[in-house]
């Protein structure tokens, strides 16, 4: 007989499952008595009649929360075994060990009732099929879930209360240390401080995260990084700069001396258990924000300016101009359409232009408008120079000061990096000097470490020397004089080859907030409304460039007309370039430019690439299909003969229409009417007979130096090469 009346032979024939769980790794490490109490449930199962071999202990979920079944393989195994009627009884110290979620709990109850599985806790044994037991188990599960929510709410309230005093300890970013009494101070490592300040200074000067990354990469500098996991957890490492590293450094309010809590919120994806996303909250929604809580690397005002600039640089659907790019359109991100009010984009295909195509993209509507970049940018730049005139000298002097300051910061960073390398080399030397020379195993390892540190020092010194000669050279008096001279002529500085397009755009954005284009109100004129950061606006009326450009010289028209009658466009371009003729913009001729020139001046061609009229074109070439019909073969065979060089022809590019020459002599060579004479050699034997390699033979055939013949021999078509005169048969 069973010691408990609810335990029947049916239950004893199945396995007894002991489910063990603790909610966190800290509980697993410290709450050992609770863990031992759960393991003792196996002895209870044996006392109730189960053979020890039938007792299954599920302890895979130690250190995992019971709020959901996600990442709980032990619970999932238990549910599967219950559904398969392999479980006679489930033993737990408390039902909260099984689940703190009513959905998971009632699912297990339904399966247990359907498969006659018992559930046991510290209070007794329950049969989910019995009304009273089911009611009691349901109440326990509901209370377990409510208890979890209550504990969670209390914990969050306690954390928030402590955070509001700035006493909740959170992981500090690199560049800060926490003293034993809890105070937060700047890292004592001067190199770490300098490189963090350098990042903020570079962002203030360059204006984008990507530009800061390029500057650090060009200077071959590294960024400090605190190791988050592994045996070196918490130690400082120097790593190669990454975009995400710099971006998070700029976004972190701790570098402005602010204590912030609740900057992000956790979102769970419906229908995807276990998938948790983190969403950044706006600054005004942070539950706790304590300014000046500890020393900062930048001021709070500078932090807010940085966030505004990062927001403006973002490539999103927000109405921000985006970061300056390297394209030729100087007003990229600043141009708006006067007709629909949408932002206009820069298009670089064909002629660069500002295009309003958002309605066409969203709704399939016709394109709103477009305006070429050249005349719009020229007018705005001229207006910019006029507005900038009184500030020329100050701008140049400030630029010189910023460049000198940046070079000083870079030099200081490199000096600290070299000092750190020398210290590590000296430390390795002292460790080697302290070892017993007879202990060769240890001495050899320390000697190798010393040599590695010395090698790093040498590499850093060589790199520093090269950088100092190239990019870190300080400004000379001659450089300062040149800058002051350029200050009197900002257009010259603007047009200098060393001035990047990003710098020009950044200069424009210093004064100009937006530009509205209206090419419709006045015919032939583009109306511009330039909005300044001061709140004022300037109206400009810019004449649009007339299409067509200057008239073509009559001699050029006559020459192109003559060549087009007997040559295709690519050959016309080659002949014009050979003669030294250039386009109106002093560019070389291309087939497309020849075609556009003919179409513009209505000059016909006698050698079109596509022609529906039968017969030869101006240069005497036939379409491949007509040549194939005359020879009694397929067009694909004609194309193959052309590729092999047997037929002379013209094809603008692979896949384009093919035109071939087919004279009476060509007919005789390909239709089989020629006779087999002694000077004809089979193609397979031609390299040996003529003393040529296979590649040289193919080149001679394509150049027309050797003629090929197609003859019908014994009811089969064969190819022959005609032996040149003066090359007798061996």
Number of helices (H), then strands (E), belonging to the chain: the values are 26, 26
What are residue 337's phi and psi, to 5 degrees? -85, 130
Give the E-state strand segments of 32-114 in sequence order: 55-62, 87-91
Chain-centroid distance of CA 605 in Å reads: 48
What are residue 554's phi and psi, to 5 degrees? -60, -35
Cβ atoms of 458 and 497 closer than 8 Å: no
How far is the C-alpha of 195 from the C-alpha of 209, rounded, in Å? 15
SS3 content of the chain, % helix, strand, coil (to 5): 50, 15, 35
Cβ atoms of 23 and 61 closer than 8 Å: no
How far is the C-alpha of 598 from the C-alpha of 570, rounded, in Å? 13
Name the β-bridge partners of 572: none
Non-local (6+) Cβ contacts of 679 within 8 A are 722, 723, 729
Burial of 347 by CB count in 10 Å (0-12 exposed, 13-18 middle, 19+ buried)?
Answer: middle
Non-local (6+) Cβ contacts of 230 within 8 A are none
In Å, how far are 347, 348, 359, 366, 367 from 362, measured between CA atoms?
17, 21, 5, 11, 11
Burial of 361 by CB count in 10 Å (0-12 exposed, 13-18 middle, 19+ buried)?
Answer: exposed
**526: number of Cβ within 10 Å:** 24
In Å, how far are 251, 265, 285, 286, 597 from 282, measured between CA atoms?
12, 11, 5, 7, 58
How far is the C-alpha of 513 from the C-alpha of 331, rounded, in Å? 10
DSSP state of 661: -
In Å, how far are 20, 50, 371 from 38, measured between CA atoms?
6, 17, 77
Burial of 180 by CB count in 10 Å (0-12 exposed, 13-18 middle, 19+ buried)?
Answer: exposed
32-69 core/surface letters (b: 16 or more CB in 10 A; e: else): eeebeebeebbebbeebbbeeebbbbbebbbebbbbbb
Catalytic-residue membership of 23: yes
Q: What's the N-to-C CA distance of the chain in angstroms? A: 114
DSSP secondary structure string, 95-142? Answer: GGGT-SSHHHHHHHHHHHHHTT-EEEETTEEE-TTSHHHHHHHHHHHH
**654: number of Cβ within 10 Å:** 7
Q: Give the pairing of strands 55-62 and 15-22.
A: parallel
Give the E-state strand segments of 275-318 in sequence order: 276-280, 288-290
DSSP 3-state of 258? coil
How far is the C-alpha of 15 from the C-alpha of 679, rounded, in Å? 98
DSSP secondary structure string, 522-588? Answer: STTEEEEEEEETTS-EEEEEEEPPPTT-SPPPHHHHHHHHHHHHHS-HHHHHHHHHHTT---TTS--
How far is the C-alpha of 429 from the C-alpha of 416, rounded, in Å? 20
> From the candidates 2, 23, 612, 625, which is the catalytic residue?
23
Report the catalytic residues: 23
């Amino acid at each position: 007989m069973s010691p408990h009346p609810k335990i029947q032979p049916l239950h004893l024939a199945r396995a007894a499952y002991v489910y063990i769980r603790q909610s966190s790794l800290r509980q697993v490490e410290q709450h050992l008595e609770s863990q031992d109490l759960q393991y003792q449930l196996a002895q209870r199962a044996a006392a109730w009649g189960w053979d020890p071999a039938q007792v299954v202990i599920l302890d895979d979920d130690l250190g995992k929360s019971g709020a959901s079944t996600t990442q709980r393989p032990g619970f999932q195994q238990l549910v599967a075994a219950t559904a398969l009627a392999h479980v006679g009884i489930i033993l737990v110290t408390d039902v909260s060990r099984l689940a703190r979620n009513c959905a998971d709990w009632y699912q297990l109850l339904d399966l247990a009732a359907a498969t006659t599985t018992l559930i046991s806790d510290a209070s007794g044994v329950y049969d989910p099929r019995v009304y009273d037991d089911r009611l009691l188990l349901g109440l326990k599960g509901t209370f377990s879930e409510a208890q979890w929510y209550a504990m969670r709410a209390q914990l969050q309230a306690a954390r928030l209360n402590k955070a509001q005093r700035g006493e909740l300890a959170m992981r500090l970013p690199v560049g800060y240390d926490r003293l034993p009494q809890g105070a937060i101070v700047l890292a004592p490592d001067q190199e770490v401080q300098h490189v963090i300040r350098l990042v903020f200074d570079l962002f203030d000067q360059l204006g984008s995260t990507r530009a800061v990354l390029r500057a650090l990469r060009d200077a071959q500098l590294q960024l400090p990084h605190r190791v988050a996991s592994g045996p070196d957890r918490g130690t400082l490492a120097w790593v190669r700069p990454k975009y995400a590293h710099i971006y998070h450094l700029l976004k972190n309010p701790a570098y402005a001396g602010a204590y912030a809590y609740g900057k992000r919120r956790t979102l769970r994806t419906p229908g995807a258990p276990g998938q948790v996303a983190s969403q950044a909250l706006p600054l005004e929604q942070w539950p706790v924000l304590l300014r000046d809580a500890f020393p900062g690397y930048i001021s709070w005002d500078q932090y807010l300016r940085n966030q505004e600039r990062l927001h403006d640089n973002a490539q999103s659907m927000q109405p921000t101009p985006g970061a300056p790019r390297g394209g030729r359109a100087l007003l990229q991100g600043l141009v708006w359409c006067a007709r629909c009010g949408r932002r206009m984009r820069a298009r670089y295909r064909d002629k660069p232009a500002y295009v309003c195509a958002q309605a066409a993209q969203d709704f399939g509507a016709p394109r709103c408008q477009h305006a070429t970049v050249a005349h719009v940018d020229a007018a705005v730049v001229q207006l910019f120079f006029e507005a900038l005139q009184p500030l020329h000298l100050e701008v140049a002097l400030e630029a010189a000061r910023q460049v000198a300051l940046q070079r000083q910061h870079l030099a200081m960073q490199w000096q600290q990096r070299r000092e750190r390398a020398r210290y590590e080399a000296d430390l390795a030397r002292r460790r080697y000097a302290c070892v017993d020379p007879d202990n060769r195993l240890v001495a050899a390892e320390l000697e190798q470490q010393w040599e590695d540190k010395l090698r790093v020092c040498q590499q850093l010194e060589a790199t520093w020397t090269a950088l100092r000669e190239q990019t870190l050279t300080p400004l000379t008096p001659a450089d300062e004089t040149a800058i002051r001279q350029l200050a009197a002529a900002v257009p010259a500085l603007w047009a200098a080859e060393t001035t990047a397009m990003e710098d020009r755009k950044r200069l424009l954005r210093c004064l100009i907030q937006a530009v509205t284009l209206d090419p419709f109100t006045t015919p032939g004129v583009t109306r511009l409304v330039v909005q300044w950061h001061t709140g004022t606006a300037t109206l400009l009326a810019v004449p649009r460039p007339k299409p067509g450009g200057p008239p073509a010289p009559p001699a050029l028209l006559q020459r192109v007309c003559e060549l087009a009658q007997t040559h295709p466009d690519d050959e016309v371009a080659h002949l014009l370039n050979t003669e030294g003729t250039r386009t109106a913009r002093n560019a070389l001729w291309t087939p497309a430019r020849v075609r556009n020139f003919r179409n513009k001046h209505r000059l016909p061609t006698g050698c079109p690439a596509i022609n529906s009229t039968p017969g030869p074109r101006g240069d005497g070439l036939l379409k491949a299909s007509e040549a194939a019909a005359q020879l009694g073969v397929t067009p694909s065979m004609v194309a193959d003969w052309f590729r092999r060089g047997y037929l002379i022809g013209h094809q603008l590019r692979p896949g384009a229409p093919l035109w071939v020459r087919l004279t009476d002599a060509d007919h005789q060579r390909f239709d089989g009417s020629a006779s087999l004479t002694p000077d004809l050699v089979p193609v397979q034997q031609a390299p040996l007979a003529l003393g040529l390699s296979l590649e040289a033979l193919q080149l001679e055939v394509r150049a027309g130096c050797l003629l090929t013949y197609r003859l019908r021999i014994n009811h089969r078509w064969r190819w022959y090469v005609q032996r040149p005169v003066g090359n007798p048969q061996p």
